Amino acid sequence: MEIKVINKGDADYPERLLQIAGPPKQLYCCGDTSMLRGRCVAVIGSRTTTAYGRNTAKAIGRCLAAAGVTVVSGMARGIDSCAHEGALEAGGKTAAVLGCGPDVCYPPENKLLMADIQRHGLIVTEYPPGTTPDRFNFPRRNRIISGLCEAVVVVQARNRSGSLITAELAAEQSRDVFAVPGNIDSQYNLGNNKLIKEGAIPLVCVDDILEHLGLSGADEEDARDRLSEREFQLFEILGNEGEMTVDEVCMRAGLKPAYVNPILSVMEMKGFISSDMGKFFVKK
């Protein structure tokens, strides 16, 4: 594993980090450091989460990566891991900012994920090799996660989640903060719902942030580039037929609802289709 050290003042030191308070003096990197100079969005949330949160984090990670955006997170359990996995599944870019040395895997169960990120993305930290994951490192690490990015998306956070610290840092750094709305009766969503109450931008579908980045649009050429073969098949069906129910889509595609429903959900998160009153249609 080759570790590259980027010092503050080096030509390849991320310009965005120079804009924050207390930029790291050096970065220890494993992987493709060019990602630090591209468009980046942080996708973060609690370690303890729900299926809704995990699925949403993966979908957001996939969609941002498919649009050419580097997905930045902290490789923690829960939302962070799902965001990285979504980006990797899309064959896109992802960067993990660690609260330990670049040669230390934390949590230990993320050994395979860390190896995938090293091969296809980037591991980055301000802590030298061998540094253990001391709990005091992580709040300090969070300023780098937000500092590298144009925007931060909080998918699911409890009321005392560390993700709220990152969101606060992002606001101080003049980064836009998005939050995914959640059930008001769930403790897992208290943090992100509170962020929306305090002025964060509600992320109703991924197209919200893609539009913010100037990457939205549901034209056919864009759809061919960013949708899977099966997704594009459904995109064409909806485009030809207009608004359709799930049953109608299934009948035209010759597929079962259990297979089609998740695909339509991902397409909606990507911003290519919308739904209203039980019907789906191509978003113009």
The pLDDT confidence band at residue 284, using thresholds 50, 70 and 90, is: low
Query: What pLDDT is attached to residue 283?
Result: 67
CA distance 75 to 28: 16
CA dist., res. 170 & res. 192, Å (int): 14
CB distance 273 to 238 below 8 Å: yes
The DSSP 8-state label assigned to residue 110 in this structure reads G
Residue 178 bridge partners (DSSP): 153, 201
What is the Cα–Cα distance from 12 to 47, expressed in whole angstroms? 32
Helices (H), the chain: 51-66, 79-89, 111-120, 137-147, 162-172, 190-197, 206-212, 220-226, 229-241, 246-253, 257-269
The per-residue pLDDT for range 30-46, each reduced to its tens digit, is 999 999 888 999 999 99
CB 84 within 8 A of CB 96: yes
Q: Cα separation of 218 and 52, whole Å? A: 25
pLDDT of residue 70: 96
Torsion-angle region of 129 (φ positive above 0: left; ψ -120 to 50: alpha; else: beta): beta
Residue in 185, 229, 36 with CA at minimum distance from that of residue 123: 36
Go through the domains of the chain in sequence order and give each one's CATH number: 4-212 (3.40.50.450), 220-282 (1.10.10.10)
For 68-114, what is each residue's pLDDT tens digit? 899 999 999 999 999 999 999 989 999 999 999 999 999 999 999 99
Residue 129's alpha-carbon distances to 3, 71, 224, in angstroms, are 9, 24, 42
Strands 4-7 and 26-31: antiparallel
The torsion angles phi and psi of 95, rounded to 5 degrees, stand at: -130, 130
pTM of the model: 0.78
Confidence of residue 216 (pLDDT cuts 50, 70, 90): low
The residue length of the chain stands at 284
User: Which residues neighbour 271 within 8 Å (Cβ) at sequence distance 6 or greater?
Assistant: 63, 205, 206, 207, 208, 210, 211, 216, 218, 283
